[in-house]
Amino acid sequence: MENDNEKIQPKKSLINKKSIVILIVVSLIAVFLMLNYVGTELDKKSHVYVDETVPAIITSWDSQELINRASPELIEVAPKEKVESLFKQYSDKLGQLKEYKSSEGEVGMHLDIICQQGMLCQRTTANYVAKAVFEKGLATIEIGMILKNNKWEIYYFSIMSDAFFQS
């Protein structure tokens, strides 16, 4: 009788292992599909945000437009006075906006092992590059954003143009 019980035990164990493996695989597929859907939706929303925000900032070179959307990290390294000074230079070198061209970029979802709360945290960022035509030249605008409390905040904003190097 002991031999019969020993033969049955491995079969139960094998069935339990198969069930666990199937459950893990199905769970991983579900998580992948969910992240893919969420990522696609975030890409769409962040793209719309960038294509509304960048023209609002560069059309009138209003530093307050950037500051209103800036993350605390950006404000720390670029306070209002510094942004105002840079925007004055941009306005002088580039002139008025003639045409904004759509941005290109994507969202990235990251897991931070240790965050401020001392646990595993998820961080969502987006990085985009856009082109714009101004009176005095073409410019490339780079923008980095972070999603906080379901709201995009700008943590990086850069404008490059050949017009900056002309007299």
pLDDT at 14 over 90: no
pLDDT at 84 over 80: yes
Structural domain of 90: 2-165
Mean pLDDT of 148-160: 94
pTM of the full structure: 0.72
CATH number for the domain that contains residue 10: 3.10.450.590
Number of domains within the chain: 1
pLDDT at 101 over 70: yes
* Distances 71 to 21, 155, 166 between C-alpha atoms, Å: 43, 5, 32
pLDDT per residue as tens digits for the range 47-72: 999 999 999 999 999 999 999 999 99
2 — pLDDT class (breaks 50, 70, 90): low
